[in-house]
Amino acid sequence: MTLPLRTLALATLCTTTGALAAGFYFSNQSDNAKSAASERLWMIPDAQAAAPANAQPMPTLAPMLAKVTPSVVNIYTKQRVRVNNPIADFFGGGRYPQERIAQSLGSGVIVDAARGLILTNNHVVEGADEVSVSLSDGRTFEAQPVGSDPDTDIAVIRIAAKDLVALPVADSSKLRVGDYVVAVGNPFGLGQTVTSGIVSAVGRSGLQGLGFQNFIQTDASINPGNSGGALVNLNGELVGINVASFNPRGSAAGNIGLGFAIPSNLAKEIMRQLMAFGEVRRGTLGLDAETAQTQAEPITRGALVTRVYRGSPAEAAGIRPGDVIVKANDQRIDGADTLSNLEGLLPLGVPVRLELVRDSQRLVVSAQLKASPKELDAGQLDARLAGAVLIDTPERYRQTGIRGVIISKVMAGSRAERNGLEAGDRILVVNRQSVGDLAVLRAQLSQNPQRLELGLARGRQTGYLQMR
């Protein structure tokens, strides 16, 4: 018989209580009675001592895990990496290999058995030339990519296999601090491994370099190789995709009970968009903000609006520079990063209820995110940029302070190339005005400026280019 969580706790309590009662029973006996009881106790055969007649079945997670583990897979990747070989260069090349095979490992979760769809982390499969999936029954299959979203670190891959077992997906919004959870994955390539713990926090953010964040924090041991694996509740339902552990001294120092997982609701929405559109479509409020630093009474925490762009959802909602956004959809906004995180995680079309502080007065406004392009032909914004392709700086880099719009491609012989632009350049400034993202750049160039000067970052250097 499998005991649910409440029964498990009760069974533990009853066992403890029973031991205490027995202790009190012996302590209340005479010395002779205690001696006789002790002799009788030692005379009981080991088998009887280990399994008394009235014993209850020991609490175990084994039956639940028997249903879960067939849905959790091990992922192995190979990537061909070009290497600089000065010895080969000296001797004219050809004698020494100029590339090596980098191998890595991770985990994944089958969420659609009929279509062979597997959820994992983007960083598990990013850049891989080969991806193989090993099932719990020993079968191995080559996997094909379906789509990925680096900013939430979610990827979807597919295998052509029969008799797969999909893991049911729970509503992660119902998770509470203190709920028991179990992590299943492939740490250090050891094969399928199970660890358990509790939910330590929900809605966790502020971790540098991990993109848009709304993590479940758990003290279940999560180690390298667990990435992409399952975090399940005691019903054997998926509540999160394990993504990272934290130890300031590095993984070699051991697990310190700080593991993070992407909520299943978010992973499911990312998967839906990747399947439907081939990408994740995000929106923007159309404003610039910085973290409020006011120490005036009452102390106000939030995102201080520094600029509102023309035609933006923020302008339509009546937001002004100087406003401090303190809540969004009843979620506390502690700073500009929190607001940016919320923008990146909300689906398009969902109304955003914003609570503001303006001149010590609280206001509530409603806005709807406007689509933010993922990639843009710069020639559509200004003919002087024709031939350049623009993308936003990935969120995981923005969190480290890297801002602006990246030039991802420059066509040979194009006007952009003749103006001196190169792939990898990062546009920081347009006509002496800072550029936060593609939406901001589009708004700035919509005014058709006669003069176009770009402030660029190229590697570790910065400078200005006049577009002609």
d(CA 290, CA 4): 47
The dihedral built from the CA positions of residue 440, 441, 445 and 446, taken in this order, carries a sign that is negative
Q: What CA dihedral angle connects 328, 329, 334 and 336, to 10 degrees?
A: -40
DSSP state of 228: T
Q: Which residue has tokens 């800072």?
A: 434
Active site residue 107: no
Active site residue 227: yes
The alpha carbon of residue 416 and the mean position of all alpha carbons in its chain are separated, in whole angstroms, by: 36
d(CA 183, CA 71): 13
The single-letter code of the amino acid at 178 is G
Q: What does the angle CA 280 – CA 286 – CA 291 come to, to the nearest 5 degrees?
A: 100
Helix H or strand E segment including 455:
strand 453-458
The single-letter code of the amino acid at 158 is R
Residue 178 Rama label (left phi>0; alpha psi -120 to 50; beta): left
Catalytic one among 149, 151, 153, 288? 153
DSSP E strands: which ranges in 222-279?
Answer: 230-232, 238-245, 259-263
The alpha carbon of residue 438 and the mean position of all alpha carbons in its chain are separated, in whole angstroms, by: 23
Residue 21 makes CB contacts below 8 A (sequence gap 6+) with none
Catalytic one among 107, 123, 323, 425? 123
What is the token pair recorded at 303? 């995102």
Q: Under a CB-based contact definition with an 8 Å cutoff, are residues 239 and 266 in contact?
A: no
Catalytic one among 71, 134, 227, 245? 227
Active site residue 153: yes
Q: Which residues are catalytic?
A: 123, 153, 227
